Amino acid sequence: MSTVLPMRSQSARNKQNRQVAHTLKLLGETIHALIHDGYTVLRYEMSEWGAPLIEIQNCTQCERLLGCWYKRIHDNEGSRYVFQKMINGCRVEWSTRGH
């Protein structure tokens, strides 16, 4: 059984389809640019509620992105700091241990 609710009109479906296509285009362009610049993309995520998210592997180049400290996560290995930078309408995140 599908959890997707039916839309009321063809116009609403077309608008939703255009939005999804636009978001996928932004994701593709941004991922391509990151890979071209030498970053390793670990995962991506998109939803209708916010900007798409791309997670990259932490590396020495990440400092050049001038990201801001976004959150700190505590786990069995200690603290992990997550940085974020908005690029081409996508949130790009990477994390680092310690600090």
CA dihedral 94, 67, 24, 41 (to 10 degrees): -30
Count of structural domains within the chain = 1
pTM here is: 0.81
- Provide the residue-wise pLDDT of the chain in tens; the chain has 99 residues: 566 666 567 777 788 889 889 999 999 999 999 999 999 999 999 887 789 999 999 999 998 999 999 899 988 888 889 999 999 999 999 999 875
Q: What is the DSSP letter of 3?
A: -
For residue 89, tell me if it sits in a domain. yes
In a domain, 20, yes or no: yes
Domain that holds residue 24: 10-97
